[in-house]
Structure 1
Amino acid sequence: MRAVSPRLAIPAGSTIGPIVAFLLACAFFTTQSSQFLSGGNLALVIQQVMVVGTLAIGQTLIILTAGIDLSCGAIMAFGGIVMAKLAVDTGMPPLLAIAAGITVCASFGLINGLLVTRVSLPPFIVTLGMLNVAFALTHIYSDEQTISGLPSELTALGNTFPLGRTDVTYGSVLMLVLFAVFAYILGQTAWGKHVYAVGNAPEAARLTGIPVRRRLLAVYTIAGAVYGIAALLLIARTGVGDPKAGQTDNLDSITAVVLGGTSLFGGRGLVIGTLIGALLVGVIRNGLQLMGVPSIYQILITGILVILAVTVDQLSRKRSQR
């Protein structure tokens, strides 16, 4: 087996396709609606994808290691309920409630990581089971009740500030900052290069001295913490703690990652590509809404794009193996 150096260059994959698709979508919808390119509408697109986009950061980390996380939406929902109930029902200081919610989400990620690395269970099975666990706990802990009357600290990221003539939410800025931070971590640090190496060839990475199990455990734990931040953004956007939130966000996050050019087989992709993928989905849904197209067609088009993206990735892998 070919050895993998810890200083391995990052197999980035191509983001050209997602960028071209994004630009073509923007050009098309510009011709269909005069409202599309307005500052307010573009800010709305970013606001609409900030929760799924943040979830997709954690999902990217896991998919880069050739795993997948079906539980991210349910973990986010539970983290949001924990924050809301602690702040409202127990009177816990809001910042501590936020920290507790993020810690709970990170703990779910840690458990996922332990089951994958110590028990050697497939990530698909582990996170499928954890999806049901987190979903059930969310409804049990919330008693099926939506939690309102939240302190302002929990909803502050939903507030806006003027940028030119456009109002932008603080949560949108936080999402973009997180993408920048993880792009730097994955692209410029040894830890990030190890993540790529583990996803590309785990046994070869182990033979070169990379602590594969520790890296995987860290990836799942960090991803869980990112889901906790997404929970805070969800609360900020909706203004309530909703036990029914996040039920399809796991699939939406995978969609963003795949459309952004990250390989489902691991070891190849860029987190900035995930941002483009999330924005592409947001642009398509927003543009079709402006055109008055029924929402079911938005789902249809998104599904077709995912199949095309995975097909291109598979064909690219086969060519590189020749």
Structure 2
Amino acid sequence: MTQSTSPTAGRAAFSDRLPSLADIGPLAALVIACAFFIWQSDRFLSIQNLSLILQQTMVVAVIAIGQTLIVLTGGIDLSCGMVMAFGSIVMTKFAVTMGVPPVIAIMCGVAASTLFGLLNGTLITKIKLPAFIVTLGTLNIAFALTQVYSNAESVSNLPDAMMFFGNTFHLGGAEVTYGTVLTLLMYLAVWFVLRDTVPGRHLYALGNNAEAARLMGLSSQKILITVYTLAGFFYGIAALLSVARTGVGDPQAGQTENLDSITAVVLGGTSLFGGRGTIVGTLLGALIVGVFRNGLTLIGVSSVYQILITGILVILAVAADKLARPRA
């Protein structure tokens, strides 16, 4: 006997197989943004300009890796930009002022950022403080330590080893930095971990439903401390890339990177409610931010309006996430 399927059930099954707005939205937004700026400026599509966008994006993109891991658990990190700045000052001061070998100085800077991540995770899990409050506090602590340790002065005359990831090589007529390659490799590694490993599935489970994760035997404290510590490590790598790109340890760096990283994560389709999102989406979100900043500069739009447009994009992305949640 042949079973009949109702048209309604067929339409439901078909709609369930369609990709969600969170999946296709970031790529569609990136394509539309590129098309608009190609139409508005002849310089946008040049190889040199596209290479520049990648160079300008890599620092925020690496910070956004750590931010994505945190947001997937339902948290948020406001301290990331200043933690990155502190790590950059530690590694440059150690190398220039104290004469520490560059590799060891870099490791010390990355370790300093990682310790801030560990501090965030410990305060959130052990004392049960909200992530927003904890990271707002450590933002100010990192800012103060950066200013005090650097005497509010940039650190220059850096050793060549610290500049390596700012060096370029030619690829198809474009100049690509080694920092861009490192950024893409880190995204590839995190994509694999989140998609194909047990720790990745545990992270999503915690973000989806913390109580259900606890009943499954998962330790939310252990996962959160690991996530925040890893995020601090990525901020330290971003500090190295920032130093390599600018050629100095800048105590004024990192003051907008926290919002830029959150913007990249949200535009990439990661839910601020936790448990849903992809690291590939975050990379697309970071590129969207870079494309908008670069394209608006090319067509002569003031930086004030660039910030305005970025804010509108964030609100639209969060609204899309809110609308997509019932279907998810």
| Partner amino acid, structure 2, of 1:128 | L
The CA deviation string for residues 126-183 of structure 1, in whole angstroms up to 9 with x for no partner, is 0000000000000011111110000011111000000021111111111111111111
CA shift, 1:211, in A, is 1.7
- Does 2:68 match 1:84? no
**Which of 118, 137, 153 is the equivalent residue of 2:126?**
118
Are the counterparts in 1 of residues 21 and 320 from structure 2 also a CA contact under 8 Å? no
Q: How does 1:113-262 map to 2 (within 5 A)?
A: 113-262=121-270
Q: CA RMSD in A?
A: 1.3
- Does 2:75 match 1:62? no
**TM-score of the superposition, structure 2-length normalised?**
0.93
User: Secondary structure of 1:161's partner?
Assistant: strand
Structure 1 residues 13 and 188, CA gap change in structure 2 (3 angstroms): farther
- 1:7: which partner in 2? none
Q: Write the distance in 1 (CA, Å) between the matches of 2:21 and 2:55.
A: 27
CA shift, 1:36, in A, is 1.1
- 1:271: which partner in 2? 279
Q: Structure 1 stretch 290-299 or stretch 222-231: which is displaced more?
A: 290-299
The runs of 5 or more residues in structure 2 that have no matched partner are 1-18
Which one has a bigger Cα radius of gyration?
Answer: 2
Are the counterparts in 2 of residues 12 and 270 from structure 1 also a CA contact under 8 Å? no
The CA deviation string for residues 53-97 of structure 1, in whole angstroms up to 9 with x for no partner, is 100000000000000000000100000000000000111000000
| Partner amino acid, structure 1, of 2:248 | V
| Partner amino acid, structure 2, of 1:21 | A
- 1:310: which partner in 2? 318
| Partner amino acid, structure 2, of 1:244 | Q
- 1:96: which partner in 2? 104
Runs of 4+ in 1 over 3 A off after TM superposition: none
Q: Write the distance in 1 (CA, Å) between the matches of 2:69 and 2:203.
A: 8
**Which of 75, 82, 96 is the equivalent residue of 2:83?**
75
| Partner amino acid, structure 2, of 1:291 | I
- 1:282: which partner in 2? 290
User: Secondary structure of 1:267's partner?
Assistant: coil
**Which of 32, 51, 71 is the equivalent residue of 2:59?**
51
**TM-score of the superposition, structure 1-length normalised?**
0.94
CA shift, 1:15, in A, is 2.4
Structure 1 residues 241 and 111, CA gap change in structure 2 (3 angstroms): same
CA shift, 1:209, in A, is 1.2
Q: Write the distance in 2 (CA, Å) between the matches of 1:85 and 1:287.
A: 35
Are the counterparts in 2 of residues 117 and 216 from structure 1 also a CA contact under 8 Å? yes
Q: How does 1:12-23 map to 2 (within 5 A)?
A: 14-23=22-31
Q: Write the distance in 2 (CA, Å) between the matches of 1:183 and 1:52.
A: 17
Are the counterparts in 1 of residues 22 and 324 from structure 2 also a CA contact under 8 Å? no
Identity %: 61
The CA deviation string for residues 292-312 of structure 1, in whole angstroms up to 9 with x for no partner, is 121222111111110001011
Are the counterparts in 2 of residues 55 and 253 from structure 1 also a CA contact under 8 Å? yes
The runs of 5 or more residues in structure 1 that have no matched partner are 1-10
Are the counterparts in 1 of residues 74 and 275 from structure 2 also a CA contact under 8 Å? yes
- 1:294: which partner in 2? 302
Q: Write the distance in 2 (CA, Å) between the matches of 1:125 and 1:45.
A: 33
Q: Write the distance in 2 (CA, Å) between the matches of 1:152 and 1:207.
A: 52
Q: Write the distance in 2 (CA, Å) between the matches of 1:224 and 1:194.
A: 20
